[in-house]
Structure 1
Amino acid sequence: MSTAETEPHLTAQPQDPYVEVLSARDVPLGGPRAMTVRRTLPHRSRRLIGAWCFVDHYGPDDVARTGGMDVAPHPHTGLQTVSWLFTGEIEHRDSLGVHAFVRPGELNLMTSGHGICHSEVSTPATTVLHGVQLWVALPDEHRDTARDFHHHAPEPVALDGGEARVFLGTLAGRTSPVPTFTPLLGAELTLHPHATVILTVDPAFEHGVLVDRGEVRLADTATVLHHGDLGYLSPGPSTLAVTNTTDAPARLILLGGTPFEEQIVMWWNFIGRSMDDITRARSDWMTGDRFGEVHGYHGDRLPAPELPATPLKPRGRVR
């Protein structure tokens, strides 16, 4: 996906000692045919959870009314894109030559490395589009790695009180085969009505819980997360309790990772370490062949927005 935000203006809700609640804001996505997404990362109070640096949550959208997703070819550097759907179907094309489909319960992970471009279009068969788009920052030693693409359809894992699909990392005895460049966790969780699920987690990880459906309470605290909220928990605990407080099933996205200690510059679709990195990437997109070409998309690629007048500064995780 593509974003032109330079500094999101979000406000954290009041928090208890263990859980920080990040509220989403609506953001137009994808240029002239923009759809609206709910963005919780990057957040003014917290820019990273592990190496997860970008969380967009969209739908359920009636495609007949909204027009669905049509994101023209656009570039990326220094990151991985993680696409996960609940309903609908998205056609992916990239300059690595990959032509793939994003379907519910199936992971598509694209590594940009030094530079890649891709397009994302909901298919004609899609009536309701609903999912998340996530980014992972690559560590400095790997940010210029080769372009890559992985697809994985994780089998559901039964939990006492719910179910998990582990698309990255390890949880509930399942490990995703998809490689990452820093320790990460990504999983979809469903919880039965009024169920509490207790998960064994890595105490070195910080975690984020995004609520897609229902309301949940985290870590045996009074904090309740509502639809679209992202709850943050700092490293330390070796278990994570998640309680569905409603009479209907709840659905969550659980993210985690070791704290990402590097400072990054994140602008539009690029991640670098300096303003010079971003300026060079923008220039290469507008005039060069660094990112390759997307074949099969019928339309023009997205032009890069103008760089901000104020120099972009590296920023890191909040302590």
Structure 2
Amino acid sequence: MSNSELDPQEITCPPGPPEVDVEVLEPRLVPLGGPRAMTVRRTLPQRSRSLIGAWCFADHYGPDDVRSSGGMAVPGHPHTGLQTVTWLFTGEVDHRDTLGSVQRIRAGEVNLMTSGRGIAHSEYSTSETTTLHGVQLWTALPEAARFADRGFEHYVTEPVQHGPATVRTFVGSFAGSSSPVTTYSPLVGAEITVPAGSEVRFELDPSYEHGVLVDLGPVQVDGFHVEPAALSYHPLGRTTLVLRTGDVAGRVVLLGGTPLDEEIVMWWNFIGRDHEEIVRFRAEWMAQVHAAADADDDAYGPFPEAWGGAVLPAPELPHTRLMPRKRPPV
């Protein structure tokens, strides 16, 4: 998924987490496209927190009636320095990228795309889809891997029972299940569904910081009331996670990982290490968009013929360099 903001901010993300108790991050609404845009609810990044492990971007959308919104229609757009993780609860999305991958994704399946030095992809909900509901996630690649080869993986998860809860792990290992998709830093991503009127306890890796994004609820997360679309942050050192539901069933997405001890700059769909890199990534993308004579055809890979020239131009860069984000108070 593309960051569809017309004036995206440049974000300098400081390394490492602060030592804080559980905090609840509220989402902000972002339209995904034109006048009939589907609206997404974004909890990462934001001013109070930019990273949870290497997870650096979290959009939650739906359940969305695509007959009125038009669904997901994101033309070809670039990424650098990250992995995209697409996870659906309902509906279908067709993915196509400059590596040559063509994949339809359904609920319970994960698409993971590794940008390496640069990749581009498109995402469209299918004509058969009436309701679209899911999350779009990014992870920042560490320095040693951010110029690795482009990659794409698709994996169909298997549900496992953990007490009354059903768990589908789509990244890493959790609650007795694992996903084989490639990661470049220690990470976990899992969907957890809990019946109404239930309590379930999970063991956590204390070397990870965690986030719990509530999809259906509300859910009591370690005793904190968390409404749908909000995300609770849990710092290092936690060894257990307790989820409790009331009159309605709950569903959450658990995200976690070891802190990314690197400073990164995020702007639009690019992750780099400084302002100059972002400027270069944008210039390379725009050269391909305009098919400039000096365009580096390998910067993002060859555009698929099926796109028919439908690609997103990059927004204009800010005129000033923004200051690094402040860490939340201890």
User: Do the structures match in fold with TM over 0.5?
Assistant: yes
Q: Deviations over 1:227-277 (max 9, x none)?
A: 111000001121111111x22211110000001111100000000000011
Match of 1:301 in 2: 311
CA shift, 1:35, in A, is: 2.4
Distance 2:33 2:58 in 1: 15
Match of 1:13 in 2: none
TM-score, with structure 1 as normaliser: 0.93
Equivalent pair of 1:2/1:30 in contact (CA under 8 Å): no
Q: Is residue 185 of structure 1 aligned with residue 188 of structure 2?
A: yes
CA shift, 1:51, in A, is: 0.2
Name stretches of at least 5 consecutive residues in structure 1 with no aligned partner. Answer: 9-16
Q: Is residue 286 of structure 1 aligned with residue 291 of structure 2?
A: no
Distance 1:175 1:303 in 2: 38
Quick one: percent identity of the two aligned structures?
56
Structural mapping, 1:143-158, within 5 Å? 143-158=146-161
Match of 1:104 in 2: 107
What secondary structure sits across from 1:142 in the alignment? coil
Look up the equivalent residue of 2:149 and give its one-letter code.
Answer: A
Look up the equivalent residue of 2:259 and give its one-letter code.
Answer: P
Moved more, 26-35 or 83-92: 26-35
Write out the 4+ residue segments of structure 1 that deviate beyond 6 Å after TM superposition: none
Look up the equivalent residue of 2:306 and give its one-letter code.
Answer: G
What secondary structure sits across from 1:253 in the alignment? strand
Distance 2:185 2:261 in 1: 11
Equivalent pair of 1:20/1:233 in contact (CA under 8 Å): yes
Cα distance 1:310–1:31, how it changes in 2: closer, same or farther (>3 A)?
A: farther
TM-score, with structure 2 as normaliser: 0.90
Q: Is residue 236 of structure 1 aligned with residue 237 of structure 2?
A: yes
Q: 2:130 aligns with which of 124, 127, 137?
A: 127
Q: Is residue 90 of structure 1 aligned with residue 99 of structure 2?
A: no
Equivalent pair of 2:10/2:265 in contact (CA under 8 Å): no
Equivalent pair of 1:94/1:295 in contact (CA under 8 Å): no
Distance 1:35 1:80 in 2: 23
Distance 2:25 2:285 in 1: 33
What secondary structure sits across from 1:132 in the alignment? strand
Look up the equivalent residue of 2:300 and give its one-letter code.
Answer: F
Moved more, 256-265 or 298-307: 298-307
What secondary structure sits across from 1:278 in the alignment? helix
Q: 1:51 aligns with which of 45, 51, 54?
A: 54
Match of 1:257 in 2: 257
Cα distance 1:316–1:118, how it changes in 2: closer, same or farther (>3 A)?
A: farther
Match of 1:210 in 2: 213
Q: Is residue 29 of structure 1 aligned with residue 32 of structure 2?
A: yes
CA shift, 1:315, in A, is: 5.3
In the alignment of these two chains, the number of paired residues is 308
Equivalent pair of 2:36/2:69 in contact (CA under 8 Å): no
Name stretches of at least 5 consecutive residues in structure 2 with no aligned partner. Answer: 12-19, 288-294
Look up the equivalent residue of 2:130 and give its one-letter code.
Answer: T
What secondary structure sits across from 1:286 in the alignment? helix
Equivalent pair of 2:47/2:325 in contact (CA under 8 Å): no
CA-atom RMSD, angstroms?
1.7
What secondary structure sits across from 1:296 in the alignment? helix
Equivalent pair of 1:172/1:200 in contact (CA under 8 Å): yes
Cα distance 1:110–1:314, how it changes in 2: closer, same or farther (>3 A)?
A: farther
Look up the equivalent residue of 1:148 and give its one-letter code.
Answer: G
CA shift, 1:32, in A, is: 7.1
Distance 2:284 2:35 in 1: 22
Look up the equivalent residue of 2:307 and give its one-letter code.
Answer: Y
Equivalent pair of 2:37/2:70 in contact (CA under 8 Å): no
Look up the equivalent residue of 1:306 and give its one-letter code.
Answer: E
Distance 1:315 1:181 in 2: 24
Moved more, 210-219 or 293-302: 293-302
Equivalent pair of 1:62/1:129 in contact (CA under 8 Å): yes
Look up the equivalent residue of 1:283 and give its one-letter code.
Answer: A
Equivalent pair of 2:160/2:167 in contact (CA under 8 Å): yes
Greater relative contact order (Cα 8 A, min sep 6): structure 1 or 2? 2
